[in-house]
Amino acid sequence: MKGIKILIAFLVFAIAASCGQQKKYISYTVKKGETMKVIAKRLDMKTRDLLRLNPDVGRKPSPNTIIIIPNKDFIAPPPKDTLKIAQVVLDSLKLNMGELEKEYLTHTVKKGDTYYNLTRRYNVSENTLNKLNPELVTEDLKLGMVLKIKPVEENEIVFYKDTVREGISLKLAMLLPFKAVEFDTIAAKDIFGVNRLANITTDFYLGAEIAIDSLRNQGVAIEVSLFDTGKKNSKIRDIINENDLDENDVIIGPMYSDEAMILASKVRTEAIFPVYSKNQEGFASSGLIKTYADKEVHQKIMLAHIDAVYSNENILIIGDSTATSIKKADEIQSVLLKNDSITEAKIIHATNGFIRKDYIINALKAEVENWVILATHKSAIASDAINSLISLPTEEENGEENEDDNKKEKKKNSNEPEMQILPEDTVVKIFACDKSTTYDKIDNTKLAKLGFTFTSDIFADDTSVAANVFNKKYQEKNHTYPSYYATKGFDITYDILARLASGDDLKETFQKGTSYRLESKFEFSKELFTTSDNNGIFIIQYNPDLTTTRIR
């Protein structure tokens, strides 16, 4: 290892000497009226790359300022024999690491990593880690240690690895509606809440501030320009016309979907849409990047999961009587029946605003597990279905020997179908394509008993060191616990700026993998010439002890 270090040191020295002799970069004297943007355009390079070569020079340097520019006549010299030897060693090391990453998902141990949070993050057991990394049996986790997590399978998620280019500087513009009273993306009742900061915009920004500070502490120079977009469509055009937003490396905002489309039509810099809107499905500009998945993605991912783990379970689909729910139930049924193993997926719809319990009970099967998919956003219907499934008529409770004569007579004369009596060990699980607010008022104990499984755009890991550090910093700075929107503000801002800190174009980093932040997952689509989608969805399951497990 010592020999390798000597070779690397010699390699660096030799390259530096060689580049100095060949003059890879030359000096240039700025003329009157020239800006860095004008000079960069003439050199056919990006303004931000020219600024990185000249970190002490502003965007509008004074005449006669001397700057460094690339020498277009530079020709890289052929490597000497000594360099070849060093390069062979380096290539060998890279090859070994490359081969390892082809066969295994790997993780480099960082400060705060523990066995427990690694097993939670990657969904693997401690036993699996020990088998793949025998050294862990006799020694503790060490900083910089490269661990095999699990063998790479076909379609395995590739994780993005943060890197910071030395001397990197970024310019960020944030277009947020600090004075807005309404959002087209968020229900009005959610904007203000008891014991919360003034509004969601403020929460988002306060979270983003901590992300920016965190990256600055890692050596990333970040210049932030903040624009108040005010009420809907009141200022966006003025902001675009009065400012050169293309001088920025990235834009976060605006928060209105129609303003985002206006911005994308006027500027070339990528704009990050930081909230969910039902209108985002209409985005087409390649300059827009969505940070929330479309609702249809939630459904697609959940159904793919059910299809993958199906093993002769009895499937029911419960919906309400609205056209939206009927359509959704039909779509779910159609997708599931494409699996040759699934021969039936019965649909039960509510009538007159409620679902009869006997319809649900009589559709269950005692000999197999019952999977019930809720295709409704109506809290009352979801609650009715769950209450019916939580209290099944069992043999012990409903034995005929315990019935009196009057009860038997009523049953006999009733026009309603009787409910079947089920064994006590009948298994029922419920699924939803997204949790939303539909289940907020339903007792978590009931959800846990039924193994409630749902999709979500966040997953909170209580063992995460990074999350605990963020929570502490946020509380110290703002004297309150971070809200959902504050954490989203951190996650979105950190992910985008961390990717840009690599020195690569933003969309190029999307090709390099999926990232997990405090609570969010960013799995951006890789298309270059259309709006980038974030398909980062978790599948979460309630456990009997009220904890949750991420199963995707």
The model's pLDDT over 503-526, given as tens digits with 9 standing for 90+, comes to 999 999 998 889 999 999 999 988
Same domain, 353 and 438: yes
How many other CB atoms are found less than 10 A from the CB of residue 213? 12
Q: Determine what percent of the chain is predicted with pLDDT higher than 90.
A: 47
If one compares 188 and 419, the residue with the highest pLDDT of the two is 419
pLDDT digits (tens, 9 = 90+) for 145-154: 888 877 765 4
Contact, 363 vs 334, CB < 8 A? no
Q: What's the mean pLDDT in 474-491?
A: 93
For residues 440 and 366, what is the distance between their CA atoms, to the nearest angstrom? 30
User: Please, how many CA atoms are within 13 Å of residue 442, restricted to the half-sphere of its CB?
Assistant: 23
What three-state secondary structure class fits 504? coil
Residue 230 in any domain: the answer is: yes
pLDDT digits (tens, 9 = 90+) for 77-135: 544 444 444 444 444 444 454 555 556 777 888 777 787 778 766 777 777 888 888 87
Q: What sign results for the dihedral spanned by CA atoms 150, 151, 153, 158?
A: positive
Same domain, 259 and 303: no
Q: Is the pLDDT of residue 5 over 80?
A: no
Could you give the residue ranges of the DSSP H alpha helices within 363-505?
379-390, 395-398, 405-413, 444-449, 465-478, 484-500
If one compares 82 and 449, the residue with the highest pLDDT of the two is 449
Residue 116 in any domain: the answer is: no
What three-state secondary structure class fits 209? helix
What is the residue-wise DSSP string for 371-389?
EEEEE---HHHHHHHHHHH
Same domain, 425 and 512: no
Residue 102 in any domain: the answer is: no
Could you give the residue ranges of the DSSP H alpha helices within 29-186?
36-42, 47-53, 81-103, 115-122, 126-132
Could you give the residue ranges of the DSSP H alpha helices within 133-217?
188-191, 200-217
One-letter identity of residue 399: G
Contact, 162 vs 500, CB < 8 A? no
Residue 82 in any domain: the answer is: no
If one compares 117 and 419, the residue with the highest pLDDT of the two is 419
Average pLDDT over the chain, rounded to whole?
82
Same domain, 245 and 316: no
Same domain, 301 and 388: yes
Residue 137 in any domain: the answer is: no
For residues 477 and 473, what is the distance between their CA atoms, to the nearest angstrom? 6
Domain boundary among 15, 44, 70: 70
For residues 380 and 386, what is the distance between their CA atoms, to the nearest angstrom? 10
Same domain, 208 and 311: no
For residues 70 and 67, what is the distance between their CA atoms, to the nearest angstrom? 10
User: Please, how many CA atoms are within 13 Å of residue 450, restricted to the half-sphere of its CB?
Assistant: 28
Question: Measured between alpha carbons, how far is residue 143 from residues 114, 138, 420 in Å?
Answer: 11, 16, 60
How many structural domains compose the chain?
3
Domain boundary among 426, 456, 486: 456
For residues 253 and 272, what is the distance between their CA atoms, to the nearest angstrom? 6
Q: What's the mean pLDDT in 262-276?
A: 95
Same domain, 306 and 444: yes
Task: Output the pLDDT for position 416.
Answer: 62
SS3 assignment for 282-335? HCCCCCEEECCCCHHHHHHHHHHHHHHHCCCCEEEEEECCCHHHHHHHHHHHHH
In the block, residue with structure tokens 């930081």: 274
For residues 539 and 445, what is the distance between their CA atoms, to the nearest angstrom? 19
Residue 30 in any domain: the answer is: yes
If one compares 436 and 215, the residue with the highest pLDDT of the two is 215
Question: Measured between alpha carbons, how far is residue 217 from residues 167, 173, 220, 515 in Å?
Answer: 13, 20, 7, 20
Task: Output the pLDDT for position 427.
Answer: 92
User: Please, how many CA atoms are within 13 Å of residue 360, restricted to the half-sphere of its CB?
Assistant: 29
Residue 93 in any domain: the answer is: no
Residue 239: which H helix or E strand, with range?
helix 236-242
Same domain, 447 and 485: no
Domain boundary among 438, 456, 474: 456
Contact, 114 vs 463, CB < 8 A? yes
For residues 472 and 272, what is the distance between their CA atoms, to the nearest angstrom? 27
Closest by Cα among 169, 274, 273, 173 to 226: 173
In sequence order, the β-bridge partners of residue 437 are none
For residues 499 and 289, what is the distance between their CA atoms, to the nearest angstrom? 14
Please state the pTM of the whole predicted model: 0.70
Whether omega before 254 lies within 30 degrees of 0, making that bond cis, reads: yes
Same domain, 18 and 66: yes
451: left (phi over 0), alpha (psi -120 to 50) or beta: left
Containing domain of residue 192, as a range? 169-292+464-536
Same domain, 267 and 304: no
Same domain, 211 and 177: yes
Residue 544 in any domain: the answer is: no
Task: Output the pLDDT for position 91.
Answer: 45
Q: Is the pLDDT of residue 188 over 50?
A: no
Q: Which two tokens stand for residue 518?
A: 């405090």
Residue 549: which H helix or E strand, with range?
strand 548-550
The domain that holds 375 is classified in CATH as 3.40.50.2300
For residues 239 and 546, what is the distance between their CA atoms, to the nearest angstrom? 48
The domain that holds 39 is classified in CATH as 3.10.350.10
Task: Output the pLDDT for position 360.
Answer: 92
Same domain, 389 and 498: no
Contact, 328 vs 375, CB < 8 A? yes
Query: What are φ and ψ of residue 54, in 5° steps?
Result: -130, 70
Q: Which two tokens stand for residue 501?
A: 């800190």
